[in-house]
Structure 1
Amino acid sequence: MAVTLAFDVYGTLIDTHGLVAMLKGMVGDRAAEFSRTWRERQLEYAFRRALMQNYVPFSVCTAQALDHTCTLYKTPLRPDQRTALLDAYRTLPAFPDVADGLARLRAAGFRLYAFSNGTKAAVRTLLDAAGIADLFLGVISTDDVRSFKPDPAVYSHFLGAAGATDAETWLVSSNPFDVIGALSAGWRAAWVRRSSEALFDPWGLAPTVTVTDLRDLAAAIAP
């Protein structure tokens, strides 16, 4: 059976900091810092909800993280600005290497799935807006099991939904917590190091491969 690749979406395929230019018109020169904090809180809220087993859709984590970040930075948004940001978050841009990298992997015979904390509808909207939806066999969401990565249950759910086994499945992610979660579940994992400043957690687990560009992934994981 062909190797299955489970692609994280937010931060790996889609640039979660793609709204910095928009944020500059709302929060000024702290836009990049604001965006980083928003993303950190979004993930933190997902982790905490998974641990508490108090699930809400990822979009709620995103909205609540935005509200927290506004309070932290003492930059209240008007209701129309808040709505505009959350609407724009549904159509964030893909990274420049994504379309070509995915096309090369598909041409090489890999089975490609999007695997995300976002709901299927939210992820399909993102992939459609980025023009890459047709490169995937499907979208598999942690929403199906009402939890978030790196809960072991979500990696198990992926295998069942994709009709794959852990021995033939790779996670592809820029998020170290996700890579470690997949490795802990018995998968192989490719870390997409999208910044030279990105650090991998010193947990005694290392990515199976590391790339900085998705266009290099097919060669890196070829048998």
Structure 2
Amino acid sequence: MSHSVFVFDAYGTLFDVHAAVRRHAEAVGPDGQKLSEIWRAKQLEYSWVRSLMDRYQDFWSLTEQALDFAFRAVPSADTSVKPMLLDAYRELDAYPEVPEVLKGLKEAGCRLAILSNGSPEMLDSAVRSACIADYLDAVISVDELRAYKTDPRIYEMVTTQFRVYPEAVSFQSSNRWDVAGATAFGFRTVWINRAGVPDEYSDLPPAVVLKDLSGLPHLG
């Protein structure tokens, strides 16, 4: 393969961010999907706003704050399930193809890493729950820099960790804004467009668009 390091965003790329609400759908109530979508949207919004203000709070704190907002925005949802949802978020389901894809890349001699907004504790729990730790050479959290993607310094953590130039890195994310940031930094980027949403950031296009990660090991 022409890229020696494969780096993955975690939430939405390896781990299903809507799995927590889905796991407790009956308890949450009929508007669970709406709750989950607002929870995710606010989680990301809070990370960007905190970065711009230079008022960092770790991703777990923002995840809790976003859930609190989602409950206020969806009053039909049963707030008593909050502890269960947070526990479930610590152990989100990996997408079905993830273990086999990581195994294939590892066996091909690639070095693999996660680069995530998630706090170290969140990522450790998710990786252990998904049983993918053996495939990863590094799990890199933005917490070390106390800033969030798409700050270029976040992507630089990868090149520093592996002592490579950006062009040696293939970066995979389901978040188009993350792909834009990584493209601007110089990575070869792969957009995992699971939801089939329209493209954006046309000046910073991905090299490849896939509907899931299963096609990744076949890329040169």
Structure 2 length-normalised TM: 0.93
Check 1:185–1:150 CA distance in 2 against 1; reply closer, same or farther (3 A cut). Answer: same
Give the conservation status (yes or no) of the 8 Å contact 1:102–1:215: no
Give the CA deviation at 1:23: 4.2
Look up the match of 1:72: 73
Runs of 4+ in 1 over 6 A off after TM superposition: none
Give the CA deviation at 1:88: 1.1
Could you tell me which amino acid in structure 2 is paired with residue 74 of structure 1?
Answer: P
Q: Tell me if 1:206 matches 2:184.
A: no
Look up the match of 2:119: 119
Stretches of structure 1 that go unaligned for 5 or more consecutive residues are: none
Q: Secondary structure at 2:203's aligned position in 1?
A: coil
CA deviation vs aligned residue, 1:108-148 (integer Å, no higher than 9, x gap): 22110011111222212101101111110011111110011
Matched pairs, number: 219
CA deviation vs aligned residue, 1:30-89 (integer Å, no higher than 9, x gap): 1112111110110000011111111011001100000011111124654x5212211110
Task: After TM superposition, list the pairs within 5 Å mapping 1:82-121 onto structure 2.
Answer: 82-121=82-121
User: What CA distance in whole angstroms lies between the structure 2 residues aligned with 1:15 and 1:217?
Assistant: 18
Look up the match of 2:55: 54
Could you tell me which amino acid in structure 2 is paired with residue 207 of structure 1?
Answer: P
Give the conservation status (yes or no) of the 8 Å contact 2:176–2:191: yes
Stretches of structure 2 that go unaligned for 5 or more consecutive residues are: none
Q: Tell me if 1:6 matches 2:7.
A: yes
Check 1:76–1:15 CA distance in 2 against 1; reply closer, same or farther (3 A cut). Answer: closer
Question: Does 199-208 or 83-92 show the bigger shift?
Answer: 199-208
Look up the match of 2:191: 191
Give the CA deviation at 1:205: 2.0
User: What CA distance in whole angstroms lies between the structure 1 residues aligned with 2:201 and 2:181?
Assistant: 14
Identity among equivalent positions (%) equals 35
Q: Secondary structure at 1:191's aligned position in 2?
A: strand
Q: Tell me if 1:165 matches 2:165.
A: yes
CA RMSD of aligned residues (A): 1.7
Give the CA deviation at 1:25: 2.7
Could you tell me which amino acid in structure 2 is paired with residue 90 of structure 1?
Answer: R
User: What CA distance in whole angstroms lies between the structure 2 residues aligned with 1:163 and 1:119?
Assistant: 23
